[in-house]
Amino acid sequence: MNQQIDKLKLIREEAVVNAQKTSEIMKERENKKTNPLKLNIGDFVYMLKEVVGPGKKLQPKYSGPYVVREILSPHLVKLREKKKRAFTNSEHTSNVVSDEPNSEPSVNNNLRTRPVRQVRKPMRYRSELGNISESTVADTSSSEQTDNTFYKVKRILAQRKRNECYEYLVQYKGEPAQNAIWTVQNQLNEAAKQSIIKRPPPVID
């Protein structure tokens, strides 16, 4: 019986030691992910606090100022309120922001920047033939090509003759007919030219 009791005690002691080691390893891993503030004794800082109750967005997120009274490690400090002598418990530097201007909490140092959304302007706000920035697949066997870029052609509405050269009134995908633009024949690809031959658009002056 005594041997079993001693064995259980030994198992418990080993479990406690292993739990402490695991906790230290996890803390060390988390500390490596953060960029600790470079603080000195006597520096003024603000401490992140838990905001509860209604109107969370309107409540301040930080309390203080506090004075750094002791630096326990690169990631742990002891603070004291500026107007009081009471010390706080050890605080992780990820919960502390320096009182220096233009400083930010170290907890935010590793946040990823949000991607910038690219806004595509409607066709009517682009130039008629140049500056087409996106590639698209030709539609209904008819597409237009300029400077190695493509954009969709919905239909050819009309044709006219200007300076011994034919121009075609082209309506693009996603645009109303009133936003159609005139395009010269040599700027149409073979599929568009064949479409004109098979189904000639009406001639206008």
Contact 68, 19 (CB under 8 A): no
Residue range 38-57, pLDDT digits in tens:
777 777 777 776 666 676 66
Chain centre distance of CA 105? 19
pLDDT at 19 (0 to 100): 85
Residue range 133-145, pLDDT digits in tens:
333 333 434 444 4
Burial class, 37, CB count within 10 angstroms (exposed 0-12 / middle 13-18 / buried 19+)? buried
pLDDT beyond 50 at 114: yes
Lowest mean pLDDT among 23-32, 74-83, 96-105: 96-105
The arithmetic mean of pLDDT across residues 150-154, rounded, is 68
Q: Which domains does the chain have, with CATH numbers?
A: 36-102 (2.30.30.140), 123-198 (2.40.50.40)
DSSP string, 89-104: PPEEGGGEEESSTT--
Tokens 């698209």, residue located:
136
The arithmetic mean of pLDDT across residues 56-71, rounded, is 71
